[in-house]
Structure 1
Amino acid sequence: MSSDQTKRTGPDPETRPEAPASTAAPTAPATPTSATARIPDLPAFAVKPVAVVAVVFAAVQAAFSGRYGFHRDELYFMAAGDHLAWGYVDQPPLTPLLARASTELFGDSPTGLRVVALLAAVAAVFVVALTARELGGTPRVQVLAALCATVSAYVLASGHMVSTSTFDLLCWLVITWIALRLLRTGDGRWWPAMGVAVGIGLFNKHLVAMLAGALLVAVLAVGPRRVLRSWWLLVGAAIVVALALPNVLWQIDHDWPTLDVAEGIREEDGGENRAMFVPQQIIMLSPFLVPVWAAGLVALFRDPALRWARAVAIAYPLVCLAVLATGGKSYYALPLLLVMTAAGCAPVVRWMRDGWRTGRARLVIAGLAVSAVVNAVVTLPVLPADSLDVPNAMNKEQGEQVGWPELADAVALGWRQVPADQQARAVVFAGNYGEAGALVRYGPERGLPEPYSGHMAFADWGPPPDSANGPVLLVRIDDAEGQDRFFTGCRLVGRVDNGKDVDNEEQDAQVQLCTGTTAPWSVMWPDMRRGY
């Protein structure tokens, strides 16, 4: 089905799958769930060119994967991987499990850990291309969709670092692709696959429920509703329950701690998240892609040939409203924006071809190139660590990959001030999960004991024994509040210096040596626990 082999006098090769039929069978593509309607054929999948795009993307990611160091969240996931459970206070178990598997298979290093993130991001690129194909996009459209995904800041960041959002992105894209296939074909046998995708997504992050709910409401609102009248839907629902049940039971047993974390996010950052929602949607994908996803949103609403896919277009604003109502982070809705981008690639290809002599194609190529360079600098460790001022101001996650061994060095210097005869009863206490994770990873080689912390899941792995009634070596950032009431006789014995003058959360953090605690650990621990 090569577009180059189609004569100019025939149907337009780039628009034929998407263009509204004006002469014959106008309702077939719009109602593929009809028992009598013919399901339109899809263009061939551009496997080789999309694979080339994915390989280049993977090569760039691999080249920079180990340049700085672990991110604070990665250190936390690695520590959680050593305490495997059906759930944690702030997340289901999939990301810690994958972090442990990656380091076991590929090495205990940033590069080894990030192999799973890279694989997930590469898979996401393929799914974006498949989404464009599902909407009738020709090979050129599919390749453009893959290119748009690889130059977006969100996908670049997801491929670089292990986080729950890395795998959440892939799950959302797969779920939406399956939803499009269900809506286009009306084949209920796709419901079990949907159940697997949603169940795995819930095993990683509960936000997938927001996507599933939005899609369901949208289908009920605009159809095609026939896809909901299949007994295969019950099979899919049973699969979701089976995969999600272990974590749900864990949450029930622990009084749903993830709800407390979500409430903490809303109280701490809800106002800022709402104010920055639209700007961050634009920046975290790419300003250049705004016309592309806007064209996709319009096409899904207005193109008669895509009437069957309108539910996906409606799901996006529904998810946005839910995120705004809950004070969630703007990137929660970004996977659906990538779907809109895939839908917008067909109009862009037509626009490029229609204005080839006016330089439209060169404009698109230049936009992709500029987006790739700018977003790579903002999301990947391209610059030397001591030149991070501008990228770190735009993306603070850059700076959070610098200085963790130096933090452990500062704590080790403080530990040497604990009298040798008291070290067996002494405790190293970290104020947050990043510090604790760094001390778990880098502390043993510096002679430090196991650290404790009341933050996030570390609280479930404590407290220290009450017999540890000696000195406490405390790590705390300057704006930490509420810790002083637990410790006595604290004095400053050091400060953290990452050596690169990177303005991150731990730069200039205090290392304090305290004579002891105000009460036994078991008594204080419930008050020392904190979530977000």
Structure 2
Amino acid sequence: MRRHLPLLFALVKFISGLLLAGYGRYELHRDEYLYLDYGRHLAWGYLEVPPLTALQSWVSLGLGGGFFWVKLWPLLWGAGTVYVVVLLARRLGGGTWAQALAGVCYLCAAYGRLNLLFQPNSFEVLSFTLATYLLVRYQQPDGRPRHLYWLGVVLGLGVLNKFTTFFFGAAVVGALLVAAPRTLRQGAFWRAAALGLLVASPTLLWQVAHGLPFRHHMALLHSSQLVHVSAADFWRDQLLQCAAALLVWVPGLGAALLGRPQPAARVVGLVYAGGLLILTLLHGKSYYALGYYPALFAVGAVWWQAQLAGGSWAARLGQVALLVLPVLLNVRVAPIIYPVLPPARMAALGQQPFYQKIGVFRGNDGRTRPLPQDYADMLGWQELGDKVYRAYQALPAATRANTLIKCDNYGQAGAINYYNRGRHLPAATSFNGSYLYWFPPVQPWPQMLLVGEGNPAHLVPYFRELRQVGEITNPYALGKGTTIYLALGPTPALLALVRAERAQELAAWEGGR
């Protein structure tokens, strides 16, 4: 049984996640539509994130793009993460109970929600956890250079997934500098670093070739979202995100910093301390830190195993309590972690003082909403896709194919493309994010469908006719009120404006190139 515990927890994670994914109650998330469109435009880089997500999208779309094939990836990466967590507990000397406790902590913390969304975050947590495992293995007496080499490969793949891997890499170097400075002078370390850079090099070269758009992405993120993140809020959320495992990861952090249960575990605590310090100074979002906790679950579980050794009734009671408490706490917050409640019931839940106090209904802009922002961003998209298609079908058959579908943001464009896959409809596009690269050549389109246009009165002089033909009406959707306008006969001045606006947006992303 003990040998199969990692695989058992991985299977539980995958199957339970599939059952709790919200199919039939909610649609895909705004970001998921963007990432799925990556699969139609394979490249070594994108304006938002590196290309590893695009490869997953390409596979999912090739398999039909259904709900399961989209959710497969975060469920798979979540299952892989809990596998590594339980395995790390075993490598640190944990028995069956300690391994089970480490796995339960992961299942009951914030990863339940994270591992339901097709975003780069699930693979980020897996890569950070696996990298920490390899770092511990290298520090153990039987550690070999191959553990460092695999660490380099994992961090290279991490960079292909998200550039926040560089912050984690800095924390790893800092941990080695404190715990094992001689490692930094060994050839194996530098070969591992070179291997990681080699794996990551395609997207790094793409960034350089395109004027380092990552800088503009970070500037936009800071001005629109990170500016709302204070150090106090960040650290409060650290306690809330993994509250179900608080009694395990907090002593696990203390034990790791003291080199317990093994000296090799010290790097786990040092990586956490260095990584969280970097994120605090950079005003990182709370969930950016989620990749630093799973290894602490393993360390804390093994530490508790030593504290509760002896077989007394009190020790056995403590073991049962530590296993059951995370489950009970998870049940308390399950309605906001898993999209299982219909929107109306979720909105009613948000009126309760407990949920208002913990702030889960507060969005990235600091405003409180009827639903948690992630859930509000999973509604109204199919309505939008269907209404755009109906508006398109109402156009004259002779000119229908020569229609520009221009959206205000990537969520709208991606959702229209996703829900109209298999239909004859021109690809929706935008000046938002990576759609700038996919925008079709400017031509004298006979008509346009404008989605999410915020100032239609300003556009009236540029068309022969401009009228609204639809909007999102779902009362719980974040995009409620998003309009669809039919614009006939664009003027040459409008086409020139399109060219200029696209060039201006691209210049901002590409550093003025």
Which one is further off, 455-464 or 357-366? 357-366
Q: Is structure 2 residue 51 aligned with structure 1 residue 93? A: yes
1:526 to 2:503 alignment: yes
Is the aligned partner of 1:475 residue 2:455? no
- Please report how far the alpha carbon of residue 299 of structure 1 lies from its aligned counterpart in structure 2 after TM superposition: 0.6
Task: Give yes or no for contact 2:108–2:245 (8 Å, CA) kept in 1.
Answer: no
CA contact (8 A) 1:71 1:400 kept: yes
C-alpha RMSD of the superposition: 2.8
**Aligned counterparts of 1:483 and 1:86: Cα–Cα separation in 2:** 40
CA–CA distance in structure 1, aligned partners of residues 438 and 457 of structure 2: 19
1:83 to 2:44 alignment: no
Q: What residue identity is the alignment partner of 1:409? A: D
- Which of 138, 142, 148 matches 1:182? 138
Find out whether 1:219 has 2:196 as its counterpart.
no
Q: 1:486 to 1:177 in 2, by over 3 A?
A: farther
More moved, 482-491 vs 257-266: 482-491
Aligned residue in 1 for 2:361: 393
Aligned letter for 2:303?
P
Q: Deviation digits for residues 413-442 of structure 1, max 9, x if unmatched?
A: 444565666545532111111110011112
Q: Which residue of 2 aligns with 1:207?
A: 164
Secondary structure class of the residue paired with 2:202: helix
Residue equivalent to 2:16: 60
- In the TM superposition, what is the alpha-carbon distance from 1:445 to its structure 2 partner? 5.6
Partner of 1:142: 99
Partner of 2:277: 321
Of the three residues 152, 161, 167, the one matched with 2:109 is: 152
Q: Which residue of 1 aligns with 2:151?
A: 194
1:452 matches 2:409: no
Output the CA distance in 1 between the equivalents of 2:461 and 2:389.
20
1:409, 1:446 within 8 Å by CA — same for their partners in 2?
A: no
Which segment is superposed worse, 427-436 or 63-72?
63-72
2:105–2:326 Cα contact (<8 Å) kept: yes
Structure 1, 179-188 or 248-257: larger mean CA deviation:
179-188
Task: Give the structure 1 partner of residue 365 of structure 2.
Answer: none
Question: Which ranges of 4 or more aligned residues in structure 1 deviate by more than 6 Å?
Answer: none
User: In structure 2, how many angstroms separate the alpha carbons of the residues matched to 1:223 and 1:56?
Assistant: 35
* Correspondence 1:492 to 2:468: yes
The AA in structure 2 aligned to 1:299 is: A
1:261-317 superposed Cα distances (whole Å, 9 cap, x missing partner) = 1111111112322353122222333x2222211101111123565444323312222
Q: 1:242 aligns with which of 185, 198, 218?
A: 198
Q: Contact 1:99/1:116 (CA < 8 Å) preserved in 2?
A: no
Supply the distance in 1 between the matched residues of 2:102 and 2:503 (Cα, whole angstroms): 50
Q: Following the alignment from structure 1 to structure 2, what is the Cα–Cα distance between the partners of residues 301 and 386? A: 46
**Is 1:512 aligned to 2:469, yes or no?**
no
Q: C-alpha displacement at 1:346, in angstroms?
A: 2.4
Read off the aligned partner of 1:474 and give its amino acid letter.
Answer: L
Q: Tell me, what secondary structure is at the counterpart of 1:507?
A: coil
The alignment status of 1:271 with 2:247, answered yes or no, reads no
Flag the 1:509–1:132 CA change in 2: closer, same or farther, 3 A.
same
Matching of residues 62-461 of structure 1 within 5 Å: 62-65=18-21, 66-67=23-24, 68-105=26-63, 107-153=64-110, 155-185=111-141, 186-220=143-177, 222-275=178-231, 276-285=233-242, 287-303=243-259, 306-350=262-306, 356-357=313-314, 359-389=317-347, 390=349, 393=361, 395-415=372-392, 418=395, 423-443=400-420, 448-461=425-438
Quickly say closer, same or farther: Cα 1:311–1:347, change in 2 above 3 A: closer
- Distance in structure 1 (CA, Å) of the matches to 2:361 and 2:462: 37
| Structure-1 separation of matches of 2:54 and 2:461 | 32
Q: Structure 1 length as normaliser, TM-score?
A: 0.82
After superposition, what is the alpha-carbon deviation per residue over 1:193-222, rounded to whole angstroms, capped at 9, x for unaligned?
1111111111111111111111112221x2
Q: For residues 102 and 461 of structure 2, what CA distance do their matches in structure 1 show? A: 56
Provide the C-alpha distance between the structure 1 equivalents of 2:461 and 2:288, rounded to a whole number of angstroms: 39
2:108 touches 2:244 (CA, 8 Å); kept in 1? no
Q: Which amino acid aligns with 1:524?
A: E
Percent of aligned pairs sharing the same letter: 27
Q: TM-score with structure 2 length normalisation? A: 0.85
Looking at structure 2, the residues matched to 328 and 182 of structure 1 have their Cα atoms a distance apart, in angstroms, of 29
Larger displacement relative to structure 2 (170-179 or 367-376): 367-376
TM-superposed CA distance for 1:353, in Å, is 5.8
Equivalent residues, number: 477
SS of equivalent to 1:160: coil
5+ long unaligned stretches in structure 1: 1-44
